[in-house]
């Protein structure tokens, strides 16, 4: 392995495409086996547990509904860790959109969940009906709003709230199970090209590289950039899941999920692996030291710079990945869902 790759480096880009399929498999397969499949196994497990708690021990589906809130936290953690893998099974039937509609810059979640709680509409609660429902009323971010928004907590009877949480968590668990099943029963084979989806190993590498670059872009531009806004106009209410104070936690979970991917993509290049490890660790240390779970500090000039500094750490990882890892893999960054507005 190591020899193969050091040869590749010395002769440059053109040779990468010529490296043996076996070597490329060695790059891909551990990522699938050690990172992707465990992430979706955990997601399927934790979301099933959440649906179970919702069915058996829901009291009023507010922040103080302890057992539910804890199961919710574990399932959401599992999603954030798995959410970096946005290709293949997560995109079939737009599953990832059903699990996570964020950012919601039109404020649709509040309107949709609020309307359900006010009307106590029971017609949509059956699983097959709910599966067809708007993504603004589904998934983790709708659940977050229902359980943690101070106004939403006062809406609806406890029994309707629990019934709605039951529908939401059942839908989340079904979606997570479907993604997990696709990964274990076939999609992994697509990653051994030539396949219907990928014509060559380079295309698989590009997919994995794009996962890394997109994940870092989400962290920098959305998780940190949105609440930071501008100095004159900070936007703390645009922080992800600020109602449950999970904003910083999500950034950390995402970086922790992206770090082993970066290291795996740099396999055979120990210097680059070290650099990547140091860059991620630096960002993670700064995240740990921040002690501002909702990024509320963006509004205060005295604490804002610390969030800006964290964003810079993520930008530094992106720069390193673009400058050194991309050329080494010989693939372009490609297009991603953030290319639009």
Partner 1 sequence: MISKILRTTAVSAMTLSATAAFAVEKEAVLTNYADIALATYEDSLITAKTLKGAVDALLDAPSAENLQAARAAWLAARVPYQQSEVFRFGNAIVDDWEGKVNAWPLDEGLIDYVDASYGGPSDENGLAALNVVANPSFDLSGKTIDAAKITPTLLEGTLHEADGIEANVATGYHAIEFLLWGQDLKGTDHGAGDRPWTDFASGDACTGGNCDRRGEYLQAATDLLVSDLEWMTAQWADTGAGRTALFEDVTAGISTMLTGMGSLSYGEQAGERMRLGVMLNDPEEEHDCFSDNTHNSHYYDGLGVQNVYLGQYVRVDGSLVSGPSLSELVAETDAALDAEILTKLSTTMMALGRIKLAAEAGYSYDQMLASGDAKGEALIMGGVTGLIDQTRSFERAVTALKLDSIAFEGSDSLDNPTAVFQ
Identify which of 202, 158, 225, 179 has the alpha carbon closest to the alpha carbon of residue 47. 179
- Cis peptide before 21, with omega less than 30 degrees from 0? no
* Of 25-33, 101-109, 283-291, 293-301: span binding partner 1 (CB under 8 A): 101-109
- Is the separation of the CB atoms in 43 and 147 below 8 Å? no
Which runs of E-coded beta strand occur in the chain?
A: none
Residue 136, interface with partner 1 (CB under 8 A)? Answer: yes
Q: How far is the CB of 53 from partner 1 (least distance, A)?
A: 27
As a 3-state breakdown, the chain gives helix, strand, coil percent values, each rounded to 5, of 75, 0, 25
- Cis peptide before 217, with omega less than 30 degrees from 0? no
Residue 120, interface with partner 1 (CB under 8 A)? Answer: no
Residue 237, interface with partner 1 (CB under 8 A)? Answer: yes
Residue 331, interface with partner 1 (CB under 8 A)? Answer: yes
Instruction: Pick the binder of partner 1 from 3, 123, 302, 340 (CB under 8 A).
Output: 340
Instruction: Pick the binder of partner 1 from 73, 229, 260, 293 (CB under 8 A).
Output: 229
Identify which of 242, 263, 257, 253 has the alpha carbon closest to the alpha carbon of residue 288. 253
DSSP SS3 for 145 = helix
Instruction: Pick the binder of partner 1 from 3, 10, 18, 106 (CB under 8 A).
Output: 106
Residues 180-209 that bind partner 1 (CB under 8 A): 199, 202-203, 206
* Of 22-30, 58-66, 131-139, 246-254: span binding partner 1 (CB under 8 A): 131-139
Q: How many residues bind partner 1 (CB under 8 A)?
A: 49
Residue 282, interface with partner 1 (CB under 8 A)? Answer: no
Residue 134, interface with partner 1 (CB under 8 A)? Answer: yes
Residue 326, interface with partner 1 (CB under 8 A)? Answer: yes
Identify which of 103, 174, 159 has the alpha carbon closest to the alpha carbon of residue 136. 103
Residue 97, interface with partner 1 (CB under 8 A)? Answer: yes
Say which residues have a Cβ less than 8 Å from residue 22's Cβ, sequence separation at least 6. none
List Cα–Cα distances, 72 to 61, 63, 297, in angstroms. Answer: 11, 10, 26
Identify which of 214, 315, 65 has the alpha carbon closest to the alpha carbon of residue 57. 65
Q: Which is nearer to partner 1, 3 or 196 (CB)?
A: 196
Instruction: Pick the binder of partner 1 from 123, 154, 271, 339 (CB under 8 A).
Output: 339
Residue 160, interface with partner 1 (CB under 8 A)? Answer: no
- Is the separation of the CB atoms in 171 and 127 below 8 Å? yes
Q: Which is nearer to partner 1, 38 or 334 (CB)?
A: 334
* Of 22-30, 225-233, 262-270, 276-284: span binding partner 1 (CB under 8 A): 225-233
Residues 284-303 that bind partner 1 (CB under 8 A): none
DSSP 200-218: SHHHHHHHHHHHHHHHHHI
DSSP 286-332: HHHHH--TT-GGGGSHHHHHHHHHHHHHHHHHHHHIIIIIHHHHT--
Q: How far is the CB of 172 from partner 1 (least distance, A)?
A: 15
Binding site for partner 1 (CB under 8 A): 13, 94, 97-98, 101, 105-108, 110, 132-136, 199, 202-203, 206, 220, 225, 229-230, 232-233, 237, 308, 311-312, 315-316, 318-319, 322-323, 326-327, 330-341
């Amino acid at each position: 392995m190591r020899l193969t790759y050091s040869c590749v480096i010395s002769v440059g880009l053109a040779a990468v495409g010529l490296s043996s399929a076996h070597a490329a498999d060695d790059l891909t397969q551990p990522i699938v086996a050690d990172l992707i499949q465990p992430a979706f196994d955990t997601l399927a497990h934790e979301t099933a547990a959440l649906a179970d708690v919702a069915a058996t021990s829901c009291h009023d589906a507010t922040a103080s509904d302890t057992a539910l809130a804890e199961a919710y936290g574990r399932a959401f953690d599992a999603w954030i860790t798995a959410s970096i893998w946005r290709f293949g099974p997560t995109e079939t039937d737009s599953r990832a959109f059903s699990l996570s509609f964020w950012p919601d810059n039109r404020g649709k979640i509040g309107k949709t969940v609020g309307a359900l709680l006010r009307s106590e509409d029971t017609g949509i609660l059956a699983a097959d009906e709910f599966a067809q429902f708007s993504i603004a009323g589904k998934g983790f971010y709708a659940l977050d709003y229902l359980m943690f928004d101070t106004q939403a907590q006062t809406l609806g009877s406890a029994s309707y709230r629990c019934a709605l949480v039951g529908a939401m968590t059942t839908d989340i668990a079904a979606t997570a199970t479907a993604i997990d099943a696709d990964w274990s029963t076939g999609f992994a084979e697509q990653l051994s090209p030539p396949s219907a989806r990928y014509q060559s190993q380079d295309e698989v590498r590009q997919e994995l590289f794009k996962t890394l670059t997109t994940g870092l872009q989400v962290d920098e531009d959305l998780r940190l950039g949105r609440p930071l806004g501008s100095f004159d106009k900070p936007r703390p209410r645009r922080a992800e899941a600020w109602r449950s104070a999970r904003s910083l936690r999500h950034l950390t979970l995402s970086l922790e999920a992206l770090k082993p991917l970066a290291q795996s993509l740099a396999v055979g290049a120990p210097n680059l692996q070290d650099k990547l490890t140091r860059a991620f660790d630096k960002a993670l240390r700064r995240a740990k030291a921040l002690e501002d779970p909702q990024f509320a500090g963006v509004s205060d000039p005295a604490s804002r710079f610390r969030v800006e500094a964290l964003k810079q750490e993520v930008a530094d990882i992106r720069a390193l990945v673009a400058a050194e890892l991309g050329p080494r893999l010989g693939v372009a960054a490609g297009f991603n869902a953030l290319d639009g507005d």
